[in-house]
Amino acid sequence: MAEYKFPGVYVEETLGLGVSVASGETAVPVFLGDFGDAVDSVAPLRSWLEFTELGDTLTASVFAAVLRGYFANGGSRCYLANTAGRSLDDTLAAVQGYSDITVLLAPGLWDEGEKQAGEWARALAGYAASHRAMAILHADRAHTPAQASAAVDGWGLEEEARSHTAVYHPWVRQSGTGEEVVVPPSGILAGVWARTDRERGVWKAPANVVLAGVSGLEYRASDQEQGDNRSLNFLRDFTGQGLVVWGARTLAADEGITWRYIPVRRLVDAVYRDIATALQILVFEPNAQPTWEKARAAVDGYLHSLWRMGALMGTKPEEAYFVQVGKDITMTQDDLDHGRLIVKTGLAVVRPAEFIMLEHTIELAQG
């Protein structure tokens, strides 16, 4: 600040409102299940050591093996959501208070049979779709690939929910504790997603990754079985490679190319969340050209950085993305009269010639 030595009128120029878009965390999972008295509603968890401090009852449960696999394969910060004494709807309502959660898992998905598995799958997938998150689900332990596909089809997920859901098969034999335990693969995959995002980026497929702490598979699928069940993501045992993740598709794999692949769905959702968060600073700003330019420049800078990191297709920025904002471009006079600031972006995440469209509407306060 300038030093004023005598009375008078001083004019000091300051920088205007700055807008920037930062990349948020992309792989923060919540594990839903009956944690008894060890967890009160929703609790954060930062490490395996923290989990062991929750008590002997939990450390001897299947959740312990699932969480061990999660942390062993690259997982870090996560949440536990307790369903003990409350409905699944109430549990998901509590989860809604944590906006950083981007992945949902239910290790006990099949504990009460096929009917409950379907109810939980629909609830988790629906929540994921409405919150731009993902549900990592799994087939039952005894399922063959054909049975797993039939069970998943029986869930009756809506199209949008299918694009926000990935299903893995088979269950795994987990080692490292002195004895083998058989666990669903979802926790391990959540760890793989977290590690892949951290090391390569959310746009990298979480596949062709060697699994840690896994000694075997409960079912060895063939190439033919994988080809016949394209909505499932398989864990495979290849000679010379070991146990690897061999698939990166959503349940929308058979419904067109747009949302077929996990990294496409997750990248677009991450971009939407990041831009929406950043543009909140513009609430109460005048809905006029200077504000529009701040929004455009911030989003352009963010997408340009993603393109330079290899997240978007194209040999030059205009082939990779576009940003639009302005009267008679993204907004009508009615939008302006009602305080709506609309920013449209297009991302070439599938092929250079195809753009996935996003639209952000910010409600600006009216005087």
Distance, in Å, from the CA atom of 83 to the CA atom of 272, rounded to the nearest integer, reads 30
Residue 35's pLDDT is 93
The band of 61, judged by pLDDT with boundaries at 50, 70 and 90, is: confident
Sketch the domain layout of the chain as residue ranges: 29-251, 265-363
Residue 275 has pLDDT above 90, yes or no: yes
- Mapped onto helix, strand or coil, the DSSP state of residue 275 is helix
- What are the residues facing 205 on neighbouring strands? none
Instruction: Report the share of the chain in percent with pLDDT over 90.
Output: 79
Helices (H), 155-288: 159-163, 186-199, 223-228, 262-279
Mean pLDDT of the chain: 90
Distance, in Å, from the CA atom of 161 to the CA atom of 252, rounded to the nearest integer, reads 9
Residue 7 has pLDDT above 70, yes or no: no
Residue 254's pLDDT is 73
The band of 235, judged by pLDDT with boundaries at 50, 70 and 90, is: very high
Read off the DSSP letter of residue 2: P
Residues 130-165: pLDDT tens digits? 999 999 999 999 999 999 999 999 999 999 999 999
Task: Tell me the two tokens of residue 342.
Answer: 């609309």
The band of 11, judged by pLDDT with boundaries at 50, 70 and 90, is: very low
Distance, in Å, from the CA atom of 312 to the CA atom of 18, rounded to the nearest integer, reads 25
Residue 6 has pLDDT above 90, yes or no: no
CATH 3.30.200.20 fits 265-363, yes or no: no
The band of 19, judged by pLDDT with boundaries at 50, 70 and 90, is: confident
**Beta-strand relationship, 134-138 and 103-105:** parallel
Residue 47 has pLDDT above 50, yes or no: yes
Average pLDDT over residues 62-69: 92
Beta strand segments in 94-160, E: 103-105, 134-138
